[in-house]
Chains A and B, each alone.
Chain A
Amino acid sequence: MVCIRRGIKAGTALLHCGDGNISPADFSGLIEVEKSATQTTSRGIGNLIVSDFHEEEINS
């Protein structure tokens, strides 16, 4: 899931692996990120408590 935060420098990606199928050992250094075809989630990121959660402007 994507979490857009104001307090991250461009060029950096923060990865939280959670208890899902992602293993931190599968990654190191550089990654590429792209939108997924399927958009199903289970828990979501609603429980995340961060002060720099980017509030997006709602474009009508």
Chain B
Amino acid sequence: MAKIVIDGVEHEVNPDNNLLQECLSLGLDLPYFCWHPSMGSVGACRQCAVMQYRDADDKEGMLVMACMTPAADGAIISIEDEGAKSFRSEVIESLMTSHPHDCPVCEEGGECHLQDMTLMSGHNYRRYDKKKRTHRNQYLGPFVNHEMNRCITCYRCVRFYGDYAGGTDLSAQASHHHVYFGRHEEGVLESEFSGNLVEVCPTGVFTDKAFSENYSRKWDLQTAPSVCVGCSVGCNTSPGERYGSLRRTVNRYNSEVNGYFLCDRGRFGFDFVNNSDRLLEPVQRVDNTGELLADDQVKAFIKEFKADGTIGIGSPRASNESNFALRAMVGEENFYAGYSDVEHESMQVLLDLASDTAFHSPSVREIEMADAVLILGEDVTNVAPRIALALRQSVRNKAKDLADESRIPQWQDSAVRELAQHDLSPLSIISSAVSRLDDVASDRVIESLSVVAAMGHQIANKISASAPKADCSAAHDQVIEKIVEQLKAAKRPLIIAGNSNGSEVIRAAANIARALYDFKDNSAIDLCLLVPEVNSVGMSLMTNAKNPLGAALKKLHDGTAKRVIVLENDLYRRASRAKVDAALTAATKVLVLDQLPTSTTANADVVLPATAFSEHEATYINYEGRAQLSFQVHQCKKQAQPSWRWLCDAEHVDDLVERCCNEVPGLARLREVLPGENPFIAGMKVPRQSHRYSGRTAMTANVNVHEPKQREDKESVMSFSMEGMPAQKDASVHAASWAPKWNSNQSISKFQDEVNGELKQGHPGCLLIERKDSSGSYFKAGSDSIEPSANQLRLVFSYQIFGSDELSARSKPIQARMTDAYIGLSPQDAQKRDLRQGDVATISPLGSP
């Protein structure tokens, strides 16, 4: 630790950081623009100027930029010095010369970092009376608006988009005050992380286009801490609602999971909650028309389903509570998995591996620390996008080591990048198709699925002879040797695989990790196994290994089970059409609970409307085994209810959480995600609405002029009102970030232990999985008997960030980015079949699915 003096007060600081980081971590108000906690300093904006003194006798001092000055022991600085203050005010004056008077109509207003810093600087009078420079805007796609007149040239956008996220189609152009940030030509921004521009831009240049359709000021939005349901990473979000519709989603800082960034699927994929075809009323299908059901009728149905002979099919996209409620209702032995049988099999492998102390399931933050990565078979960018972003940071660990050797501080981002040039930590990808991470991969092998797995086994065997060999052509010997050496030499190697194409690749990956475990003398190896959905892990912990979906369908078909309850699931995505049709036709009664109509709800006898993720409190378990709590953001519409409420008598989500803890072995610690008992001041609730929330009574005045009764939230510690105390001490109940003088998302620094660090008393979720022993053994290398003959092709499923996830694919902005279903072929195979780019083809499955 170092000691520095700031305005006469001594502070202990970390000398590896710069002065700006330390001042902000200490809670001091020092303005800045171009510095970003995840992107380091460049010293461009000059906003963070402070006066530095050589020693106690130096009365004059020298202006330095806090973000570019190390917090060295003995430093004496002043933020309040008049010279520094007036300089900072002049910087704002410069930025304002061409800034348009857009505040009243600018979407950033109310959460605008430029507004905040302008006020903080004291500049308030325009002397500039010359012509302003203006720009033309570009069409950048359905997600992000472009309004360049507002630009203050902080360079954050291109640094995030290009340096951090690896995007290539956004650049800085021109010079002096004509600097322009845009695309080489108009068109959709290609990066999967383009949406973060709206949060990274400190003014209103890049704003949320989907939000613009139905805009609302930040202070008018009702928010609550939530979890994205788009994939199994479980990024933390803060959705905002107004007038009953979900308007937008912003990042909610979680030091272990998403940090400061989301992917575009999570940011723009919530709109399905607002769909006009939401299921909102209990309906019974009679002769192909739906008849509304009254409360007592529904109760009667539920009672019917409680009888013997009912089975339940769970859902990897439904919450733990809903899955559990169904399981409790039908009994554990009658609760079946809600994913495909292939996935079920792979999940069993995964669950076995989860209890093995040889492995550690790394958090996103830990993935950034890996110094040698092998991806086996999975397209990370499309399956778990946020992890792909983390991998792009992990390959920079080599650069960080080089910087350390040359004594360049880590936060001096440009210098670190310059020194390392293209020298990256190794990232090897062995899979069946080109991926969006290839540009940072040190080695890239494209092979058929069976060879991918075989290579995995070979790598494992070369690391530890105890691992089984596999038949693998010598063509890949060299790259295998290279990868083996890299993994062995790494301080923190990482193996990534997933179950989108069965479990053989997972077995190979596990073998590699186990081989490394043996090699490295028993220190747990990072093994990241990806699953597709937000609660695949949660549901799998509740499902008996002997209860795959196929068995459920069989039981219904042959009459062993008479009734089935399908929880938030479209079975036609999980099993073959023929089998699902047969099962549902054979069943005497089919009850389906869901949010949106699906092929399954179309074949149900009774459909009960379920609430969407933002309309109920829920817990989900991510790929790591991290349980996270998602609060209800807004009231559900009409008669939709959380599924568990239809199925059981529990009053509170907490009750179900408690039961999960007691009755499901893997969920014993689930209760730890609930907010603490009394962190709240004087028993007041945490408001979902800001203290500036407006229009409460005017909102409904067109229906009824009488002031509506304040809606009560009996469920949680939050209230559907402005009343209460925003959680200062318990960051787990902290949604939209705000602090006095800091209206924008930059205010998050007030809630962190230190910038980019943990939230003060934050709950980054709770790691549930307890590893017991490492008695596991190597998997046998499977022999893939499926080899395509002449006209046949081996199928590999290809995920897409836009379109593969069921719910987000029904959001309008996402649909604007989706493609048709397609079959990707090599040029030779296409030519053989006389197929051209863009032709329509028919695919026929071979063998029994």
The answer to whether any beta carbons of A and B sit under 8 Å apart in the complex is yes
Q: What is A's interface to B at a CB cutoff of 8 Å?
A: 1-36, 38-54, 56
- Distance A55 CA – B95 CA, assembled complex (angstroms): 45
Knowing A8-B446, A11-B793, A15-B795, say if A33 contacts B823 (CB, 8 Å): yes
- Within residues 786 to 830 of chain B, which ones have a CB less than 8 A from any CB in chain A? 786, 788, 791-800, 802-804, 806, 809-810, 817-830
A8 touches B826 (CB 8 A): yes
Interface residue? B492 (CB, 8 A): no
A21 and B821 CA atoms in complex are apart in Å by: 9
Q: In the complex, A31→B453 CA distance in Å? A: 20
- A31 and B822: CB pair below 8 A? no
Q: Which 10 A-B pairs have the closest CB atoms?
A: A14-B824, A7-B434, A18-B821, A13-B793, A30-B846, A14-B798, A36-B840, A20-B821, A1-B822, A19-B809
Evaluate contact between B434 and A33: CB separation under 8 angstroms.
Answer: no
Chain B positions within 8 Å of A42 at CB level = 820
Say yes or no for B346: interface residue by CB 8 A criterion: no
Q: How far is the CA of A32 from the CA of B447 in the complex (A)?
A: 19
Contacts of B288 in A (CB 8 A): none
A26 lies within 8 A of B826 (CB): no
B803 is contacted by which of A2, A19, A24, A35 (Cβ under 8 Å)? A19
**Which of B188, B434, B818, B834 contacts A50 (CB under 8 A)?**
B434
Residues of B within 8 A of A17 (CB): 797, 804, 821
Question: With A18-B803, A31-B795, A49-B190 in contact, do A36 and B842 touch (Cβ < 8 Å)?
Answer: yes
Q: Other CB < 8 Å A-B pairs besides A31-B792, A33-B841, 19 of them?
A: A1-B820, A3-B822, A3-B838, A4-B824, A4-B836, A11-B788, A12-B448, A12-B449, A12-B796, A13-B843, A14-B825, A15-B823, A17-B804, A18-B822, A23-B577, A24-B797, A31-B844, A36-B839, A54-B827
Please tell me if the beta carbons of A2 and B842 are within 8 angstroms of each other in the complex: no
Residue numbers in A under 8 Å from B433 (CB-CB): 5, 7-8, 12, 14
- Chain B contacts for A25, CB-based, 8 A: 340, 572-576, 849
With A and B bound together, what is the CA distance between A45 and B818 in angstroms?
Answer: 8
Structural contact, A16 and B824, CB atoms closer than 8 A:
yes
Determine if B837 is an interface residue (Cβ-Cβ < 8 Å). yes
A8 and B825 in contact, given A2-B835, A23-B577, A39-B839 (Cβ under 8 angstroms): yes
Q: In the complex, what residue of chain B is closest to A28 when comparing beta carbons?
A: B849
Q: Does B655 contact A (CB under 8 A)?
A: no
Known: A19-B809, A19-B818. A13 touches B840 (CB 8 A): no
A5 to B433, CA, bound (A): 9
Max chain A CB contacts within 10 Å: which of B447, B574, B792, B821? B821
- A sample of 29 cross-chain residue pairs with beta-carbon separation below 8 angstroms, ordered by A number, consists of A1-B822, A4-B824, A6-B827, A7-B434, A8-B824, A9-B448, A10-B826, A12-B448, A13-B829, A13-B843, A15-B796, A15-B821, A15-B823, A15-B843, A16-B823, A17-B797, A17-B804, A17-B821, A24-B573, A26-B577, A27-B849, A29-B847, A30-B793, A30-B794, A33-B841, A33-B842, A34-B833, A35-B840, A36-B842
Taking a contact as CB atoms under 8 Å apart, the answer to whether B836 and A48 are in contact is no
Asked if B12 is at the interface of the complex by the 8 Å CB criterion, the answer is: no
On chain A, the residues within 8 Å of B806 by CB distance are: 19
- CA A32 – CA B182 in complex, angstroms? 44
Cα–Cα distance between A23 and B577 once the two chains are bound (Å): 8
B438 at the interface (CB under 8 A from A): yes
Check A2 against B575 for contact (C-beta < 8 Å). no
A28–B342 touching, CB < 8 Å: yes
Q: A14-B433, A16-B804, A39-B840 are in contact. Are A33 and B835 (CB under 8 A)?
A: yes
Q: Is B432 an interface residue (CB 8 A)?
A: yes
Within 8 A of A (CB), among B412-458: 432-434, 436, 438, 446-449
Residues A30 and B795 in contact in the complex (CB < 8 Å), given A17-B821, A24-B573, A56-B837: yes
| Pick from B834, B838, B845: contact of A44, CB under 8 Å | B838
CA A3 to CA B818, docked complex, whole Å: 14
CB <8 Å contact, B833 and A35: yes
Q: Closest A residue to B821 by CB, please name it.
A: A18
Contacts of B849 in A (CB 8 A): 25-28
Cβ-defined contact, A9 with B432, below 8 A: yes
When C-beta atoms are compared, the residue in chain B nearest to A6 turns out to be B827
B215 to chain A, nearest CB (A): 25
B573 A13 Cβ-Cβ under 8 A: no
Residue contact B795 to A29, C-beta cutoff 8 Å: yes
Q: Shortest Cβ distance from A49 into chain B, in angstroms? A: 5
Q: B802 contacts which of A2, A3, A47 (Cβ < 8 Å)?
A: A47
Say whether A52 contacts B434, CB under 8 Å: yes
What is the distance, in angstroms, from B434's C-beta to the closest C-beta of chain A?
3
A20 touches B820 (CB 8 A): yes
A11, A45, A47: which contacts B829 (Cβ < 8 A)? A11
Min CB gap A54→B, angstroms: 5
Q: How far is the CA of A51 from the CA of B435 in the complex (A)?
A: 8
List chain A residues, Cβ under 8 A from B342. 28
Residues of A within 8 A of B820 (CB): 1, 18, 20, 41-45
The residue that B792 contacts in the complex, of A23, A32, A50, A52, with Cβ under 8 A, is A32
Using CB atoms, name the residue of chain B closest to A42: B820
Q: Nearest Cβ in chain A — how far from B844, in angstroms?
A: 5
Q: Closest Cβ of chain B: how far from A43's Cβ, in Å? A: 5
A18 to B800, CA, bound (A): 8
Give the docked Cα–Cα distance between A51 and B436 (Å): 8
Q: Which of these, A22, A29, A43, contacts B794 with CB under 8 Å?
A: A29
B846 touching A29, Cβ below 8 Å? yes
- Residues in B neighbouring A5, C-beta threshold 8 A: 433-434, 824-826
* From A3, A23, A31, A47, contact of B573 by CB (8 A): A23
Nearest chain B residue, comparing its CB with the CB of A38: B840
Question: B844 — which chain A residues lie within 8 A by C-beta?
Answer: 31-34
Name B828's closest neighbour in chain A (CB-CB).
Answer: A10
Contacts of B576 in A (CB 8 A): 23, 25-26
Cβ–Cβ < 8 Å partners of A13 in chain B: 793-796, 823-825, 829, 843
B809's nearest neighbour on chain A, judged by CB, is A19
Check B340 against A16 for contact (C-beta < 8 Å).
no
Q: Among the listed A1, A26, A48, which residue makes an inter-chain contact with B845, where contact means beta carbons less than 8 Å apart?
A: A26
Query: Which partner residue on chain A sits nearest B808 by CB separation?
Result: A19
Q: Across the interface, which residues of A come within 8 angstroms of B793, CB to CB?
A: 11-13, 30-33
Instruction: Give the residue among B574, B810, B827 with the most A Cβ atoms within 10 A.
Output: B827
Q: How far is the CA of A8 from the CA of B837 in the complex (A)?
A: 14
- Asked if B826 and A47 sit within 8 Å, CB to CB, the answer is no
Question: Hey, which chain A residues are within 8 Å of B822, CB to CB?
Answer: 1-3, 15-16, 18, 45, 48
Interfacial chain B residues near A44, Cβ < 8 Å: 819-820, 838
Other-chain contact of A46, B798, B809, B819 (Cβ < 8 Å): B819
Residues of A within 8 A of B843 (CB): 13, 15, 22, 27, 31-33
A34 to B619: give the CA distance in the assembly, Å: 45
CB within 8 Å of A: which B706-739 residues: none
Q: Which residues of B contact A52 (CB under 8 A)?
A: 434
CB-CB under 8 A from A50, the residues of chain B are: 434
Residue contact B448 to A4, C-beta cutoff 8 Å? no
Contacts of A27 in B (CB 8 A): 795, 843, 845, 849
| Bound CA–CA A35/B844 (angstroms) | 11
Would you give the shortest CB distance from A58 to chain B, in whole angstroms?
A: 11
Q: Give A17 Cβ to nearest chain B Cβ, in Å.
A: 5
Contact across chains for A28 and B839 when beta carbons are under 8 A apart: no
Interchain CB contact (< 8 A) of B840 among A11, A14, A31, A40 = A40
Measured in the bound complex, the distance between the Cα atoms of B286 and A24 in whole Å is 30
Which of B340, B574, B819 is in CB contact (< 8 Å) with A48? B819
